Amino acid sequence: NAGVTQTPKFRILKIGQSMTLQCTQDMNHNYMYWYRQDPGMGLKLIYYSVGAGITDKGEVPNGYNVSRSTTEDFPLRLELAAPSQTSVYFCASSFEGGGTEAFFGQGTRLTVV
């Protein structure tokens, strides 16, 4: 089982460029999440989705957009990249919310210069 797969693993962007971080899961999970991890700050929720066609903002959504057209895929779009978006991004999925286990991808390390 592949679990949660993120691409790319590393990327350098110039200020003002755009990109899409890809995330796909093969566990038929309804719930999917995007987090960012900054040094010494833990993980912060950017966006989440409880099923295809349904998305909602998390704690730090500004500068990002998401879509969920299928159960498997949950891409994260960065428009007009800024240095403040330099971070490690993790996609996760879970069968349900609440007390169920979340499965994480290996992360995308993004640097904006």
Partner 1 sequence: GDSVTQMEGPVTLSEEAFLTINCTYTATGYPSLFWYVQYPGEGLQLLLKATKADDKGSNKGFEATYRKETTSFHLEKGSVQVSDSAVYFCALSRGGGADGLTFGKGTHLIIQP
> What are the residues binding partner 1 (CB under 8 A)?
4, 31, 33, 35, 40-45, 48, 50, 56, 58, 90, 92, 97-99, 101-102, 104-107
The amino acid occupying position 112 is: V
**Shortest Cβ distance from residue 11 to partner 1 (Å)?**
16
Cα Dmax for the chain:
39
Using DSSP's 3-state secondary structure scheme, residue 49 falls into strand
User: Judged by CB, which is closer to partner 1: 31, or 64?
Assistant: 31
Burial of 24 (0-12, 13-18, 19+ CB in 10 A): buried
User: Judged by CB, which is closer to partner 1: 60, or 82?
Assistant: 60
**Shortest Cβ distance from residue 100 to partner 1 (Å)?**
8
